[in-house]
Chains A and B, each alone.
Chain A
Amino acid sequence: MRWAYAALSLVAWLGLTATAQAGTLRIGSKRFTESMILAEIVARAARAAGEGRVEHVEGLGGTAIVLAALEDGAIDLYPEYSGSLKESLLHDVRAGDADLARALSGVGLGITASLGFENAYALGMKRERALALHVTRLSDLAAHTNVRIALSNEFVGRSDGWSGLRAAYGLEAFAPRGMDHGLAYVAIQDGAADVTDAYTTDAALARLDLVTLDDDRHFFPSYRAIIVYRLAARSSFPRSFAAIEALAGRIDAPTMTRLNAEAEVRRLAPADIAAGFLGAVPSGPANRPSLLRGIGDVIVLHGPRHVVLVFLATFFAVLAGVPLGVLAARSRVGGGILLSAAGLVQTIPSLALLCFAVPLLGVGALPAMVALFVYGLLPIAGNTLAGLRGIPLTLREAAAALGLSPLDLLLRVELPMAAPVILTGIKTAAITAVGTATIAAFIGAGGFGEPISTGLNLNDTQMILEGAVPAALLALLVQGAFAVIERRMVPGAR
C-alpha cells in the first residue's frame, strides 16, 4: 500500500512540476507565434545565465489568462505589449506609462524597456481588392459596406479593437464575423473575407499579400513589446533578469517579422528560431559549457523527470502486467492471444506508438507515460505467463497437494517460483523505457530526450550527446541494478 501511495505522489509530482517546483523560472506565452518565439528567446537568454531551471509554459491563451497566471505565480514572466497591459489593468489603452508602472507595482509586477519593436493592431486588406476599391486608409473603408470583414475573437471584444475602431471610423454598417485568428487568415486565403485584423509584425501580411490600411485618425494605441514579470521573481533570479533586460532594443520590427515568417512560412519551431536569433549574437556561443559540464547540467535538469517517467511507467506495467500474465496462464486461448499481442506491439516503432497516444491524451508526460506503460506491459505479462508455465508439473502438483488457498498458492508458491523469469521481463521493460523515454520528448514529456530533440533540430552534436550520454548511463545503471536484484534472488545467495 505504501508503494501505491508513493507511486501516486510521484504521478502528482510529474503533473505539478509546472506549478510547484521551487528554483524554476517559468516563462509564459500566449497562443500565437510571436509570443512563443519571444518566450523562447527570453528562456534561452535566462538559461545562459545558469541560475536554475527555466521552463517555457507554452500557449496559455489570451492576455487575461496569462496575466492571471502571472499574478497567481504560476508563471514568473511573459512577453507582452504595453497597450494590452494598459487595457487589462487600467481599462484604458491610452493611459500613460507612469500610470501603468504604478498599477503594475501595486500588484507586484514590473516591465522591461521595449524589446525594440511595436506590434500594433492594424487592419489588413487583400492587395488586389484594396487597389480595386482604392482603399488605402481606414477612413476609406466606410464607403464600401460590401467589404467582408473577419476578425479575431479577441479583437472583437477589446475596446481598442473593433468597438472603438467602429466608432472612430464610422463602420457601424459592417457586420464582421468573429473567429479564431488563424481561421480568419484561412478565410482571407480562401477568398471568404477581404479584411482582417493583423499585427504589424505579422508574417501573414506578406504571405497573404495584405496591405495594412493607414490609421489616419490615430485610433490604434501603442503596443511596445516588453516583458512583464513578477518583482519577486526578479529578485530571486537577478542574473537571469540581467540577461533578459539586455534583450531590450535588440529586436526591431523587420527582425520580428522575419522571425515570425521563419515559424509560419518555414515551419521552424519557436525554440529553434530563438536559438538561431541568439546564435547570431556574438556572446552566445562563447558561454557554451563543456560537454562534460553540459552532461552534468542535463542530468540535474532532466534526470529526475526521466527517472520518474521510467519508474512510474514500469511500476504500473508491473502492477497491470503480472495479473494479466496470471490470467493468461489460467486460460490457454487467452495466453496464446496475449503472447501474439506481445509480439505485435513490440514491432510498432516507438515514435509511432507515442504519436498514437497524442490524439487520445494530448501532449506532455501523461501520454508518454501511457505509451511507455504499454511497451512495458507486454514483456512483463508475457514473462509472467512463461514463468508460470515453466514451473514443473510435479512441483505445481506438490504445491496444490498442500491444500493452500488458490491465492496463497499463487502468491506464496507459483509467483515466487516464476519470479526470476518475471524479473527478466521487468528488466526488459525498464531498459526499453529508458530508451523510449528519450523519444517521448517529441511529445513534450521532458527528460533526456529534450536536449536530444533540440540538438537534432539544430544539428548540434554536443547537445545531442548531452542528452544521449545520460540516457545511456541510466540504461546501464538500470541493468546493473537488476543484476544485483537477480543475484540476490538466487536461492541461498541471500
Chain B
Amino acid sequence: MLVLDGVAKRYGEATILHPTSLSLGRGQRVALIGPSGSGKSTLIRTVLGLVVADAGRVLFDGIEVGPETARAVRRRCGYVISDGGLFPHLTAGGNVTLVARRLAWKTARIEERVDALLTLVRLERDLLTRYPDQLSGGQRQRVGIMRALMLDPEVLLFDEPFTALDPMVRAELQDDLLAIVTRLAKTVLLVTHDLAEAALLCERLALLHDGRLVQVGAAWELVERPATPFVSAFVSAQRAFVSPPRPPDLEAPLA
C-alpha cells in the first residue's frame, strides 16, 4: 500500500533524513518512533508531499507521490496532527464536512457519513455546532479524527496526535482509536515518541535515530533483541509506573 524507497532530506547543511526505506502492506499499522529531531515527522510528511524528498521516492498504492499526484493521494489519506489541527474559523461540523462539501456531496450523504462518524469516535452531535476554541482538547482531537475519516481514506497518518492531552484523556482516546483502526482495518502510519502508545496501536515499530532507521520490528523485538545500544537506551527510558512503597507508619492503622 505504502512504500518509502530510499527517502532522504537535507535542510542546508543539516541532514534530517538519511536514505530510508520502509513499506506497509494494506491494513498494516506501523509506528515511527524515536526522540525529537530523529526525522520521523519529516518522513510521514513526505507521504503527503508536504515535504519533498531530495532523494528516493514514495509510492502510494503504486502511484509515485509528486506535484501532480499529491492532491489525489491526499484525498486518499486521513491526516491527524496534535490538537486536531482544526481551522478556527469553521465549526467542528464545518471542519469535518469541508472537503465533502467542496466535492459537492449530497446533503443526505454528508449527514449519513457524519452520523456514522459521530458513533465511531463517540462524540455528541451538538458539539458539531461549536467552534474549536469552545471544545476540550479531547473533543478537538475526536473532531480531527472525524475530519480525517470523512472521505473514508485508505491510509491514516497520525503525527503525534495525543501529545497535547492530559493522561486520562489520552488513555481514553488511545483505546478508542485502537478500536476504530482495528474495526476499519485501515493502513496506519503513526508518529509518536511514546513507546507504549506505539506498542498499543501498531503491530510494527520503526525506530529512528538521527535520521536513520535503526530497527524495525514488533515491540517485543525492540525490547528483547535491541539492534543497537541506542534501542535499549530508548526502550529503558520509557518507564512503567511503579508505586513507591507505602510509608511504614501508615501500615499499622490501616491493617
| A residues with CB within 8 A of B | 394-395, 397-405, 408, 412-413, 416-417, 419, 491-492
Asked if B133 contacts A401 (CB within 8 A), the reply is no
Asked if A394 contacts B85 (CB within 8 A), the reply is yes
Question: Could you mark each residue 152-171 of chain B with 1 if its beta carbon is under 8 Å from any beta carbon of chain A, else 0?
Answer: 00000100000000000000
**Which residues of the other chain, A, contact B116 by a CB distance below 8 angstroms?**
none
B216 to chain A, nearest CB (A): 25
A419 to B90 alpha-carbon distance, docked (Å): 13
- With contact pairs A401-B48, A401-B50, A402-B74 given, residues A492 and B81 touching in the complex (Cβ less than 8 Å): no
Indicate if B180 sits at the interface (CB-CB under 8 A). Answer: no
A367 to B227 alpha-carbon distance, docked (Å): 76
**Which residues of the other chain, B, contact A401 by a CB distance below 8 angstroms?**
48, 50, 74, 77, 79, 157
Asked if B50 contacts A397 (CB within 8 A), the reply is yes
A423 to B81 alpha-carbon distance, docked (Å): 29
Indicate if B230 sits at the interface (CB-CB under 8 A). Answer: no
Asked if B81 contacts A394 (CB within 8 A), the reply is yes
Most buried by B among A412, A413, A417: A412
- Find residues 54-77 in chain B having any chain A CB closer than 8 Å to their own CB: 71-75, 77
Given contacts A397-B85, A401-B157, A403-B99, 18 further A-B contacts (CB under 8 A): A397-B81, A398-B85, A401-B50, A401-B74, A402-B79, A403-B75, A403-B77, A404-B98, A404-B99, A405-B102, A408-B102, A413-B87, A413-B98, A416-B87, A417-B89, A419-B89, A492-B130, A492-B134
Question: Could you mark each residue 88-115 of chain B with 1 if its beta carbon is under 8 Å from any beta carbon of chain A, else 0?
Answer: 1110000000110010000000000000
A398 to B132 alpha-carbon distance, docked (Å): 15
Asked if B98 contacts A412 (CB within 8 A), the reply is yes
Contact of B89 among A397, A402, A491 (CB under 8 A): A491
Asked if B45 contacts A397 (CB within 8 A), the reply is yes
A-B contact pairs, 29 of them (CB 8 A): A394-B81, A394-B82, A397-B45, A397-B48, A397-B50, A398-B85, A398-B87, A399-B87, A400-B50, A401-B48, A401-B77, A401-B79, A402-B79, A402-B98, A403-B71, A403-B74, A403-B75, A403-B77, A403-B99, A405-B71, A412-B98, A416-B87, A416-B90, A417-B87, A417-B88, A419-B89, A491-B89, A491-B132, A491-B133
**Which residues of the other chain, A, contact B88 by a CB distance below 8 angstroms?**
417, 491
**Which residues of the other chain, A, contact B77 by a CB distance below 8 angstroms?**
401, 403
Q: Which residue of B lies closest to A415 (CB)?
A: B89
| B residues with CB within 8 A of A | 45, 48, 50, 71-75, 77, 79, 81-82, 85, 87-90, 98-99, 102, 130-134, 147, 157
A412 to B157 alpha-carbon distance, docked (Å): 23
Asked if A404 contacts B85 (CB within 8 A), the reply is no
Q: Which residue of B lies closest to A418 (CB)?
A: B89
**Which residues of the other chain, A, contact B89 by a CB distance below 8 angstroms?**
416-417, 419, 491
B49 to chain A, nearest CB (A): 8
Interface majority SS (helix, strand, loop, mixed), chain A: helix
**Which residues of the other chain, A, contact B147 by a CB distance below 8 angstroms?**
402
Most buried by B among A394, A402, A404, A419: A402
**Which residues of the other chain, A, contact B85 by a CB distance below 8 angstroms?**
394-395, 397-398
A322 to chain B, nearest CB (A): 16
A22 to chain B, nearest CB (A): 45
Q: 4 nearest interchain CB pairs? A: A403-B74, A398-B85, A491-B131, A403-B75
B206 to chain A, nearest CB (A): 21
**Which residues of the other chain, A, contact B133 by a CB distance below 8 angstroms?**
491-492
B146 to chain A, nearest CB (A): 13
A398 to B148 alpha-carbon distance, docked (Å): 10
- With contact pairs A394-B81, A397-B50 given, residues A492 and B99 touching in the complex (Cβ less than 8 Å): no
A395 to B50 alpha-carbon distance, docked (Å): 12
B238 to chain A, nearest CB (A): 25
Q: Which residue of B lies closest to A419 (CB)?
A: B89
B115 to chain A, nearest CB (A): 21
**Which residues of the other chain, A, contact B132 by a CB distance below 8 angstroms?**
491
Asked if A492 contacts B131 (CB within 8 A), the reply is yes
A4 to chain B, nearest CB (A): 24
**Which residues of the other chain, A, contact B73 by a CB distance below 8 angstroms?**
403
A405 to B75 alpha-carbon distance, docked (Å): 11
- With contact pairs A394-B82, A397-B45, A398-B85 given, residues A412 and B134 touching in the complex (Cβ less than 8 Å): no
**Which residues of the other chain, A, contact B157 by a CB distance below 8 angstroms?**
401
A344 to chain B, nearest CB (A): 32
**Which residues of the other chain, B, contact A398 by a CB distance below 8 angstroms?**
79, 81, 85, 87
Asked if B102 contacts A404 (CB within 8 A), the reply is yes
Asked if B72 contacts A403 (CB within 8 A), the reply is yes
Q: Which residue of B lies closest to A400 (CB)?
A: B50
B81 to chain A, nearest CB (A): 6
A53 to B45 alpha-carbon distance, docked (Å): 67
A479 to B157 alpha-carbon distance, docked (Å): 46
- With contact pairs A412-B102, A492-B133 given, residues A395 and B87 touching in the complex (Cβ less than 8 Å): yes
Q: Which residue of B lies closest to A489 (CB)?
A: B89
A209 to B45 alpha-carbon distance, docked (Å): 89
A281 to chain B, nearest CB (A): 64
**Which residues of the other chain, A, contact B79 by a CB distance below 8 angstroms?**
398, 401-402
A404 to B71 alpha-carbon distance, docked (Å): 7
A412 to B103 alpha-carbon distance, docked (Å): 13
A395 to B90 alpha-carbon distance, docked (Å): 13
Asked if A402 contacts B50 (CB within 8 A), the reply is no
